[in-house]
Amino acid sequence: MKILLMGNPNVGKSVLFSRLTGVQVIASNYPGSTVGYTRGQMKLGSSAAEIIDVPGTYSLDPTNDAERVAVEMLQDGNVAINIVDATNLERNLYLTLQLLERKIPVVIALNMWDDTQHLGIHLDLEKLQNLLGVPVVPTVAVSGIGIKTLVEKIPQSVSGNYPVISPDERWALVGKIVSQVQQITHRHHTWRERLADASVRPLSGMFIAFAVLAAAFALIRFLGEGLIGYVFDPLFNLLLPPLTSLSNTLGGGGLLHDILIGKMINGQIDYLQSLGLLTTAIYIEFAAVLPYVFAFYFVLGILEDTGYLPRLAVLMDTILHRLGLHGYAIIPTMLGLGCNVPAILSTRILESKRERFIAATLISIAVPCASLQAMIWGLVGKEGPQYLLIVYGTLIIVWVLMGFIINKFTKGFSPEMLTEIPPYRLPPARALAQKLWMRVKGFIVEATPIVLGSVLVVGLLYAVGVFDAIARFTAPVVTGLFGLPKEAVTAIVVGFIRKDVAMGMLAPLALTANQLVVAAVVLAMFFPCIATFVILGKELGLKDTLRATAIMIVAALSAGGLLNLILK
């Protein structure tokens, strides 16, 4: 049996999906957090059922990609669980009626039931059930209330007895139903609503955005540095003696020693410079990058689940319009500061192919991921905050300038922003922790083999002298244009594989602060890592990926070269 979870965007489908299947999925408080679909299994009586988390849709008239996907999936579902936002019955019932017209058996989960009370909404459940002719179960997905009853009602789902009618007739019917089952009592504005209003007005909005982003930045830095200084560095110091004795056992040199431990710096292991599998590779991933990945996703989770991001989108709309995007593109961009891969996937929430191309290209060129940023903060930040400012300032200028240029030279125009703004919510701690754990686990599982593999391969290539050949070949660009020592090409090449390892490769080169700045900017812009590249190809297709790549090469060469000229 195939069960479809269907409903408007941001009504809690993904949370309900997790509840029903035990499968963890990323859920957030903004429309469009599910862009693909997720399948899972659940037990239904004695048999197993397949359950599908369908992207949110307002209607079954396919006006965008998410809706087209939903309509297609409807063909082969056996039952639809229609999740309805109880606080917004009128808008949600339109889809419900369309589902009932399609004759698919439906059971309704009246979600966010707890919110109706303090919003002063009273619903007559029995009447609603009678009018619609299908089971209606009140639920609170985030806390699990009503889920058991919902599951019990699935076998009782029935197909609706509604004739197909025109949109106007359907809206009229929705209005009739709502007027019969819903009563609203008056109540005063809450502080959350006042804050909500303030965050979409220009002056107060700017002020709030500035405060929120500054606080987010400070919190990430505080958490990241705290974890490094008080947890991971002491931990790795404890590992030094056993590693040193391993180094002695291996004879202090030789191929195996160089690959496992790396080079000894002044007779000692140096986690940043030795470049061995058990030293630098492990250290970079766990002690330098992981704390920041953790800190970033902790803060991002809060921003996502409170519902602030759509407000930031409203605020950024004017600027983003000049770049051929609309405000909502800020959400993939923010995700990109964590990892470019999910960011490029989430550009699907943008309506047109043109916007997706611009957004994905800008992310892959000018938005550094958390792994790279952690290393930039570690290496460049050591030289002083002004150098960090130059790196970020350059990337922001590149982002704006590139968007402006691509917008000018790409056919078509960008559609207007139109989005629902969810109410502010206090995110439940459990949901936040779960999401954070999923993302951190994802990072460890995906990054570890690649980090170890790339350090291993680089070690081997070094040993056979491949990098010397590449360094000689690329010297004009690396040395002439960027003003970097020719050995820095190793880092640029490794940048195809993992940005954090690449940045780590710069540590032993004794670069000046200005050289580090140029190298950081070039690494951020020049070729996204292989995982991002693959996703870019999948999402944009061959032609547009080649276009994006050409833009990227030109941009990286000019930005790196100019920066070198200015700083010299």
Partner 1 sequence: MFGFKHRFGRQHLPAVNGLIPLTDLANGQSGVIHSFQGGQTMEQRLNALGARQGQRITRIGGMFMRGPITVKIEKSQIAIGFGMAKHILVKVQDENFVNG
Sign of CA dihedral 313, 316, 317, 323: negative
Residue closer to partner 1 by CB (options 88, 139) is 88
Residue closer to partner 1 by CB (options 197, 446) is 197
Size of the site for partner 1 (CB under 8 A): 35
Separation between Cα atoms, residue 213 and residue 403, nearest integer Å: 22
Residue 423 in the binding site for partner 1 (CB under 8 A): yes
Q: Single out the segment in contact with partner 1 by CB under 8 A; choices: 87-95, 212-220, 282-290, 503-511.
A: 87-95
Residue closer to partner 1 by CB (options 11, 563) is 11
The least distance separating partner 1 from the CB of residue 491, rounded to whole angstroms, comes to: 41
Residue 167 in the binding site for partner 1 (CB under 8 A): yes
Residue 196 in the binding site for partner 1 (CB under 8 A): yes
Task: Decide: helix, strand or coil at residue 84.
Answer: strand
Q: Are the C-beta atoms of 481 and 495 separated by less than 8 Å?
A: no
The least distance separating partner 1 from the CB of residue 421, rounded to whole angstroms, comes to: 4
The least distance separating partner 1 from the CB of residue 84, rounded to whole angstroms, comes to: 13
The least distance separating partner 1 from the CB of residue 200, rounded to whole angstroms, comes to: 4
What phi and psi values does residue 92 have, to the nearest 5 degrees? -75, -30
Residue 18 in the binding site for partner 1 (CB under 8 A): no
Report which of 507, 496, 512 is spatially closest to residue 262, judged by C-alpha positions. 507
The least distance separating partner 1 from the CB of residue 100, rounded to whole angstroms, comes to: 17
Residue 205 in the binding site for partner 1 (CB under 8 A): yes
The least distance separating partner 1 from the CB of residue 327, rounded to whole angstroms, comes to: 6
Separation between Cα atoms, residue 34 and residue 176, nearest integer Å: 32
**Per-residue burial over 76-99, b = 16 or more CB atoms within 10 Å of its CB, e = otherwise:** ebebbbbbbbbbbbeebbbbbbbb
The per-residue DSSP string of 374-392 comes to HHHHHHTGGG-HHHHHHHH
Separation between Cα atoms, residue 9 and residue 35, nearest integer Å: 10
CB atoms inside a 10 Å sphere around CB 145: 15
Q: Single out the segment in contact with partner 1 by CB under 8 A; choices: 123-131, 236-244, 250-258, 313-321.
A: 313-321
Residue 267 in the binding site for partner 1 (CB under 8 A): no
Separation between Cα atoms, residue 177 and residue 102, nearest integer Å: 19
Residue 72 in the binding site for partner 1 (CB under 8 A): no
The least distance separating partner 1 from the CB of residue 6, rounded to whole angstroms, comes to: 14
Q: Which one of residues 59, 244, 479, 558 is an interface residue with partner 1 (CB under 8 A)?
A: 59
The per-residue DSSP string of 334-348 comes to HHHTT-HHHHHHGGG
Distances in Å between the Cα of 57 and the Cα atoms of 99, 170, 355, 384 are: 12, 16, 20, 48
The least distance separating partner 1 from the CB of residue 300, rounded to whole angstroms, comes to: 21
**Which residues contribute to the site for partner 1 (CB under 8 A)?**
58-59, 61, 63, 87-88, 90-91, 94, 119, 121, 167, 171, 196-197, 200-202, 205, 310, 313-315, 317-318, 326-327, 415-421, 423
